[in-house]
Amino acid sequence: MLWIHLLSSLASDVFLVLSALISILYLRQDANLKRKKRIGSLPSLHKMDQFGLFLLFVAFVLMTLGMFAGSILAYQTWGPYWYLDPRQLWSVCVWLLFAFVLLARWQAGWRGRKAVFVSLSGSMAMLLGFFLLNYFHWSQHYGL
């Protein structure tokens, strides 16, 4: 269970970083197109938007798997108080944000800059949590 948790969580982070990079390229290409300037051989905005959505979906599925495996592992290891860990709480908040983003994209039809900004903010929240929450001494994940 530990390896499922670790590998799926790490893979999720990688896909979220890739999605963030695609979002940054999207914003740069969008700004250049508004100035009637094109960057090298980047794909169209639509293709970048779709690819970013795909990466975000894969990351969300992997994050869900990692959180599920981690929840089982945490309950077996620490008992019923595992949910008070700040890293786990942050992960749930980021997961809810990405669930909202995916739902808004599929149901409300969010596309383009709005979707890119929200996706990018979620990726930044994940990175912030990954780096900052590692240094809390009172976390079960301290040093991981």
State pLDDT tens for residues 30-51.
Answer: 988 888 876 677 889 999 999 9
What does the alpha-carbon distance between residue 81 and residue 14 come to, in Å, rounded to a whole number?
29
Q: What is the pLDDT of residue 100?
A: 92
State pLDDT tens for residues 3-33.
Answer: 999 999 999 999 999 999 999 999 999 988 8
Handedness of CA 91, 96, 101, 105 (dihedral sign): positive
CA geometry: angle 112, 113, 118, nearest 5 deg: 110
What does the alpha-carbon distance between residue 130 and residue 137 come to, in Å, rounded to a whole number?
14
What is the arithmetic mean of pLDDT over 119-132? 84
Q: What is the pLDDT of residue 136?
A: 61
Neighbouring CB atoms inside 10 A of 87's CB total 19
